[in-house]
């Protein structure tokens, strides 16, 4: 790109009460093969009781001999994932803002691949590949639900994202100018504390695309998303489906505003469309001795959708 100054990357890692997972993530960021002056790492401590700043300082100090990565910690009261992402963006100094979950392990070439995608292409945002690292055996019913654990793998070739799925918040980046242009992530549409509400990343990237920003997939910007064994259980996925129902209804309320009665009718029509296929699935499960797991997931999702009708749309 001519004589333009090289882009700088700000890596923003929100965290809440997961100091050891955060430590492992930061150690992989410290090992990046990108020149140190081209990126910084900001951890946003979203109201943890643990001493997150001490974790950040210790990882940064351990890498000082090989050339320290600029790492620092911002702290805020517990306001949720999107609030923490926005806080990190405000404190960042880079041209490109990258967001990672604190339980990801980043490949050595991740930061260089992210910056290269923005330097080579006129994209507003990039989604990197997310591979799951399961810390327990994968149950058979997980096969079609791996995206509930933030898996994002669209193949081995870079591509433009003209449709869904949009990038996921576990591994994504956006030009600062585009982030500021559309107003950042929307608070209230993602996790707060132990909540499993989501869709903050989906809503953000859909809004960015609607505002003319082009989205790109870059598989070389690769991370592992560590999934503990307790998240591979039926009770967890019942909670996860219920929260996804809440999340989807809240996002629809933002994208397609309507009075409460019309929203309820819209949800009822969607349920009616899906019910026959789910009934067939449940009958096949029973015939093959698979139990009612799919039925439980389906019911949890729709309980969440209808429960969210009583909630105000996120601000």
Q: Is the pLDDT of residue 49 over 50?
A: yes
Residue 276 CA to residue 278 CA, distance in Å, equals 5
Give pLDDT, residue 5.
Answer: 83
DSSP class of 67:
T
What's the pLDDT band for 1 if we cut at 50, 70, 90? very low
Give pLDDT, residue 3.
Answer: 59
pTM beyond 0.85, yes or no? yes
Residue 308 CA to residue 66 CA, distance in Å, equals 50
Give pLDDT, residue 314.
Answer: 81
Which residues have a Cβ under 8 Å from the Cβ of 285 and sit 6 or more positions away? 291, 292, 293, 294, 295
Q: Is the pLDDT of residue 4 over 90?
A: no
Quick one: which of 100, 145, 166, 152 has its CA closest to 244? 145
**Residue matched to tokens 């951890």:** 43
Q: Are 83 and 76 in contact (CB under 8 A)?
A: yes
Mean pLDDT of 124-140: 97
> How buried is residue 35: exposed, middle or buried, by Cβ count under 10 Å (0-12/13-18/19+)?
exposed
pLDDT in tens, 243-288: 999 999 999 999 999 999 999 999 999 999 999 999 999 999 899 8
Residue 201 CA to residue 174 CA, distance in Å, equals 12
β-partners of residue 174 are: 97, 125
Mean pLDDT of 91-117: 98
pLDDT in tens, 8-24: 999 999 999 999 999 99
Give pLDDT, residue 100.
Answer: 98
Mean pLDDT of 129-152: 95
Which residues have a Cβ under 8 Å from the Cβ of 178 and sit 6 or more positions away? 124, 125, 208, 213
Joined together, the tokens standing for residue 101 give 């979950």
Mean pLDDT of 289-304: 94
Q: What are phi and psi of 148, to 5 degrees?
A: -65, -15
Q: Look over the chain and give the mean of its residue pLDDT values, rounded to a whole number.
A: 94
pLDDT in tens, 193-250: 888 999 999 999 999 999 999 999 999 999 999 999 999 999 999 999 999 999 999 9
| In the chain, % of residues over pLDDT 90 | 89
**Residue matched to tokens 């690292």:** 133
């Amino acid at each position: 790109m001519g004589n333009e100054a090289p882009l700088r990357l700000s890596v923003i890692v929100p965290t809440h009460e997961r100091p050891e997972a955060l430590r492992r993530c930061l150690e992989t960021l410290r090992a990046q093969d990108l020149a140190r002056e081209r990126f910084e790492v900001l951890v946003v401590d979203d109201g943890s009781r643990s001493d997150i700043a001490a974790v950040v300082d210790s990882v940064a100090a351990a890498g000082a001999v090989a050339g320290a990565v600029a790492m620092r910690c911002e702290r805020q009261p517990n306001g949720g994932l999107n609030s923490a992402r926005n806080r990190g963006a405000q404190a960042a100094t880079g041209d490109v803002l990258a967001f990672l979950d604190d339980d990801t392990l980043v490949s050595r070439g991740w930061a260089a691949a992210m910056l290269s995608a923005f330097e080579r292409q006129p994209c507003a945002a990039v989604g990197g590949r997310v591979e799951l690292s399961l810390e327990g055996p994968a149950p058979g019913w997980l096969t079609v639900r791996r995206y509930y654990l933030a898996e994002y793998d669209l193949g081995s070739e870079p591509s433009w994202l003209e449709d869904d799925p949009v990038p996921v918040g576990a591994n994504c980046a956006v030009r600062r100018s585009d982030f500021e242009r559309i107003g950042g992530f929307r608070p209230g549409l993602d996790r707060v504390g132990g909540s499993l509400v989501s869709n903050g990343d989906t809503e953000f990237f859909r809004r960015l695309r609607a505002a003319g920003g082009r989205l790109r997939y870059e598989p070389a910007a690769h991370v592992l998303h560590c999934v503990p064994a307790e998240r591979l259980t039926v009770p967890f996925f019942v909670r996860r489906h219920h929260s996804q129902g809440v999340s989807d209804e809240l996002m629809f309320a933002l994208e397609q505003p309507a009075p409460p009665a019309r929203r309820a009718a819209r949800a009822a029509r969607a349920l009616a469309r899906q019910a026959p296929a789910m009934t067939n699935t449940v009958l096949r499960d029973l015939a093959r001795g698979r139990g009612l797991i799919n039925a439980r997931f389906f019911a949890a999702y729709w309980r969440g959708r209808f429960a969210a009708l009583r909630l105000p749309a996120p601000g």
